[in-house]
């Protein structure tokens, strides 16, 4: 009868050795807030130059002009696919009859209005 409590006491004593250190509380590292500043690329808000009126009318609802102008040189077929994507996928209000003029405007701008493009994108000026 006495054996059982003695065994239990022995197990308990083995699990908590006398003088064992308390586990240390986990202290999260101190987070230091810092202020950083970045120079964002300058964005031209509206199109100017060739085809500006048409592009301002159709593209500025969602983009800055520079976002469009800074694309790498693209052939007309790619610009056409791009305009169709804006219309069919993103819901740009583009009439079918305006698509050839938009493609012409986009293609000709790249031929005649070189720009530097954003960081990491050679743009159409080089
Ligand atoms: C209804 C909103 C809307 C309109 C209007 C619009 N776009 Fe977009 N465009 C988008 C969205 C959304 C994206 C995807 C942006 C992203 O991926 O971060 C995009 C992306 C682009 C891109 C980057 C390449 C790509 O396919 O993602 C180009 C170039 C572009 N648009 C050109 C145009 C041109 C040119 C026009 C005018 C004919 C136009 N967009 C009108 C919504 C629009």
Q: Which residues line ligand 1 (CB under 6 A)?
A: 58-59, 61-63, 68, 71, 82-83, 85-86, 90-92, 94, 102, 106
Architecture field, domain 52-112:
Orthogonal Bundle (1.10)
Ligand 1 atom with the smallest distance to the CA of 83 is 38
pLDDT digits (tens, 9 = 90+) for 110-122: 887 655 544 444 4
In the numeric block, the tokens 């048409």 are attached to: 54
Cβ–Cβ < 8 Å for 112, 120: no
Domain segments of the chain as ranges:
52-112
| Cα 41 to Cα 18: distance, rounded to the nearest angstrom | 66
Residue owning the nearest CA to atom 11 of ligand 1: 90
| pLDDT in the model for residue 4 | 59
pLDDT band at 100 (very low <50, low <70, confident <90, very high): very high
CA nearest neighbour of 86 among 110, 68, 113, 105 = 68
Total residues found in the chain within this entry? 126
pLDDT band at 2 (very low <50, low <70, confident <90, very high): low
Cβ–Cβ < 8 Å for 81, 36: no
């Amino acid at each position: 009868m006495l054996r059982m409590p003695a065994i239990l006491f022995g197990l308990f004593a083995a699990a908590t050795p006398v003088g064992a250190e308390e586990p240390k509380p986990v202290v999260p590292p101190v987070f230091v807030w810092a202020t950083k500043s970045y120079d964002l690329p300058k964005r031209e808000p509206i199109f100017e130059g060739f085809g500006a009126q048409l592009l301002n009318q159709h593209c500025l609802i969602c983009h800055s002009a520079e976002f469009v102008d800074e694309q790498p040189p693209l052939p007309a077929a790619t610009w056409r696919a791009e305009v169709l994507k804006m219309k069919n996928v993103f819901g740009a209000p583009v009439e079918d009859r305006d698509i050839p003029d938009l493609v012409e405007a986009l293609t000709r701008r790249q031929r005649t209005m070189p720009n530097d493009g954003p960081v990491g994108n050679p743009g159409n000026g080089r």
